[in-house]
Amino acid sequence: MFTWLKTHWHRTGLTAYVTHPDCLQHNMGVGHPECPERLIAIRDQLMASQIFDSLQEVEAPEVTEQQLARIHPPRYVEYIESSVPSVGTFRVDPDTAMSPGTLKAARRAAGAVIKAVELVCEDKVPNAFCAVRPPGHHAESAKSMGFCFFNNVAIGVAHALSNYKLARVAVVDFDVHHGNGTEEIFHDDPRVMMVSIFQHPFYPYCGDHPLGQNMHNVPLRAGSGGAEFREAVEQHWLPQLHAFQPEMIFVSAGFDAHREDDMGSLGLVEADYEWVTRHLVQIADLYCQGRIVSVLEGGYDLSALGRSVTAHIRVLSDG
């Protein structure tokens, strides 16, 4: 639908790869799909593809109480802090559990996005990928669910809006599950626009009726593949992004819509993630001075996850 336009911004420097070993310490039990091996699989594939050396690896700090409080009420944060078990696991919902290392991992995951925002907004890197867990886009302002405790992307968006006085920020979510937490947090904030695709009907069984006019959700039926995904991007996402002219783009980068991922029933492949990332880079070059912060959400088949993230990062780092 849109032709490639000459970009207005030329990126220099290395893409930041923001992560921390503490993100490996969150463990919800043997056999749980949201496992520490996800981050290892990503790093291994980036190294095998000879991309890792072209990235600037950055250690994630812990998020501060003030940064958390922009999104999550203190009482909720206190509940999470008080629920950390000394041994074993504590379940916050049927699918989501805390282990002794969960809180530190969650603080690093949110802190990684804060750090990425600062690096990108201060022109220290052209863009950033946050290789973190636990994920965040299901976490509502006062509710943990769907493997998520703190909404990492939302915390980063709030930091960008507060500290760098941005007026328009876009969130792009291509996880197989709808980012209900991000929608709940920003549905009445005109400074934030969200575009998303997700399988529906499917967990968390919402999103087909957007909560606000700034939410542009495109449900896809089970069995949909690259053609349906690309149509949704071209017909729905791109017109909204061009109209909104964001000053920064955040990506809730879930890769569980891959056809090899048993967590969902969509049929995307690496080429689809590469294609959509190229479109997002074009939008960022036109309106955002190239500013993109991408944050890992889902993706549970380890091989498909590693290959898909590599395809995504290859485009970000190619410029």
Is 2 contained in some domain? no
Alpha carbon 146 to its chain centroid, in Å, reads 14
Torsion of CA 38, 266, 184, 122, to 10 degrees: 50
Look at residue 106 and tell me whether its pLDDT is greater than 70: yes
- Closest alpha carbon to 133 in 39, 48, 3, 10: 39
Is 6 contained in some domain? no
Task: Please state the pTM of the whole predicted model.
Answer: 0.96
- β-strand pairing of 192-199 with 215-220: parallel
Alpha carbon 109 to its chain centroid, in Å, reads 11
Q: Is it true that the peptide bond before 36 is cis, omega within 30 degrees of 0?
A: no
Is 3 contained in some domain? no
Q: What is the rounded distance in angstroms from the CA atom of residue 240 to the CA atom of residue 214?
A: 9
Token reading at 107: 């603080």
Is 7 contained in some domain? no
Q: At 206, which CATH number?
A: 3.40.800.20
User: What does the pLDDT look like over 147-172, one tens digit per residue?
Assistant: 999 999 999 999 999 999 999 999 99
Average pLDDT, the chain: 96
- The domain total for the chain is 1
Strands across the sheet containing 215-220: 56-59, 16-19, 127-130, 292-296, 248-253, 169-173, 192-199, 215-220
User: What does the pLDDT look like over 184-239, one tens digit per residue?
Assistant: 999 999 999 999 999 999 999 999 999 999 999 999 999 999 999 999 999 999 99
Is 11 contained in some domain? no
Is 182 contained in some domain? yes
- Indicate the residue type of 163: N
pLDDT band at 51 (very low <50, low <70, confident <90, very high): very high
Q: Can you give the residue range of the structural domain that contains 240?
A: 16-318
- Closest alpha carbon to 231 in 276, 281, 294, 287: 276
